[in-house]
Amino acid sequence: MQRRKSTEVRVGHVVIGAGNPIIVQSMTNTDTRNVKETLKQITRLAEAGCQIVRVAVPDQGAAAALKTICGQSRLPVIADIHFDYKLALEAVENGVQGLRINPGNIGEKWKIREVIKAVQEKGLPIRIGVNAGSLEKDLLESHGGPTAVGLVESALRHVRILEEEGYDHLKISLKASSVPLMLDAYRQIAGLVPYSLHLGVTEAGTVRSGVVKSAVGIGTLLAEGIGDTIRVSLTGDPAAEIPIALDILQVLGLRDKGTELISCPTCGRTQVNIERMAEQVEEKLSKLPPLKKKLSVAVMGCIVNGPGEAREADIGIAGGKGSGLLFQKGEIIARLPEKELLPALFARIDEFVKDYSQK
Ligand code: SF4
């Protein structure tokens, strides 16, 4: 996959863009002033595989809480700020590793300069985050509503403000809840500026619509080589977003570690409960420690076609009547009674884990 060339952005120890692996990020939904709960959620996000976390900073209390949060967070913290330059300054002072703020919304030039000076001193990036739901009034009027051209125009306005001040350590997002709209906007901006792009579908909804919208929106752009960091948005627990984001990268071949489950759709040849077996294997895989290589596991319905259909799997089983096969890379390695299939597969998975584990 040919990836778009983008400029490099550093968020703490995490490097985004310039051909680096795609970074997965999320946002806490706790009250940022509740330091304990916010840190607890950040830890859960980190354990799920999140690499950068954003926290909302709506007031001074939240900005003050950042001191402890940033000091103890397992992930680089980005402060999400609207309008108030003082909150931005305090967030930087309190140790955040990036800002999400739109300079055009800060107000007077001197306030923008203060923010730029503060981030420059610490080498921090800014994300310009344009959202179809909060597009400037004049752009909504001139384009007859939120359009891709309007989103891009808004982003370019913010970009120019920063560039005119000599600042270009930035990345951009152009989110919309409409997938065709965000696709159009990201495709346009990708050809207009060199900056790293943060991909996301905003207000994507609860699990069903959120997963589909994010997979299609983010996945389509990534498949075209566009995008440097991604955020899957789901209404609910942000930790639930991370496996979805990792899976999007996995299925596009943009992640060379972790696990992948391959299971057949079943058909008239199936004589065992493959659905139940696949669920058990999925559960087993979800509990494995982080792997430094990719492990793919197949659960197939029949011994005639299964091993061949799942030839690319590292390890797998194929069910038959009363017995089944254990296979590795398409080669049969054992024929076992049905009840011994899963235990044998799990034992093999554990052997892979020993080899592939990061610890
Ligand atoms: Fe049908 Fe066998 Fe293919 Fe599963 S692996 S879909 S049971 S042919």
End-to-end, the C-alpha distance of the chain in Å comes to 30
Domain end among 188, 220, 251: 251
- Is this complex scored with an ipTM above 0.90? yes
3-state secondary structure of 57: coil
> Distance between CA atoms of 310 and 54, rounded to whole angstroms?
39
In this prediction the pTM is: 0.91
Q: Return the pLDDT at 147.
A: 97
**Claim to verify: residue 111 and residue 143 sit in the same structural domain:** yes
Is residue 150 domain-resident?
yes
> Distance between CA atoms of 56 and 71, rounded to whole angstroms?
17
| Residues in the annotated binding site for [4Fe-4S] cluster | 264, 267, 302, 309
Q: Return the pLDDT at 11.
A: 98
Name the residue of 262, 263, 264 whose CB sits within 8 Å of the most ligand 1 atoms, as the mutation to test its pocket: 264
Q: Which helix H or strand E contains 79, and what residues bound it?
A: strand 77-80
Is residue 147 domain-resident?
yes
Find the 293 Cα to ligand 1 centroid distance in Å. Answer: 28
Ligand 1 interacting residues, C-beta cut-off 6 A: 264-267, 269-270, 300-302, 305-306, 309
Residue with CA closest to ligand 1 atom 7: 301
**Claim to verify: residue 242 and residue 202 sit in the same structural domain:** yes
Domain that holds residue 330: 258-356
Q: How many CA atoms lie within 13 A of 341 on its CB side?
A: 32
Q: Return the pLDDT at 358.
A: 59
- Would you tell me how many other CB atoms lie within 10 Å of the CB of residue 191? 9
Find the 189 Cα to ligand 1 centroid distance in Å. Answer: 44
- Would you tell me how many other CB atoms lie within 10 Å of the CB of residue 305? 14
**Claim to verify: residue 245 and residue 272 sit in the same structural domain:** no
List, for the chain, all residue ranges whose pLDDT scores fall below the cut of 70: 358-359
Q: What is the tally of structural domains in the chain?
A: 2
Name the residue of 270, 275, 277, 332 whose CB sits within 8 Å of the most ligand 1 atoms, as the mutation to test its pocket: 270
**Claim to verify: residue 264 and residue 239 sit in the same structural domain:** no
Find the 303 Cα to ligand 1 centroid distance in Å. Answer: 8
**Pick from 64, 79, 62: which is nearest to 27 by CA?**
79
Residue with CA closest to ligand 1 atom 1: 267
> Distance between CA atoms of 353 and 141, rounded to whole angstroms?
57
Alpha carbon of 37 to those of 29, 41, 123, 218: distances in Å?
A: 10, 6, 29, 29
**Claim to verify: residue 240 and residue 323 sit in the same structural domain:** no
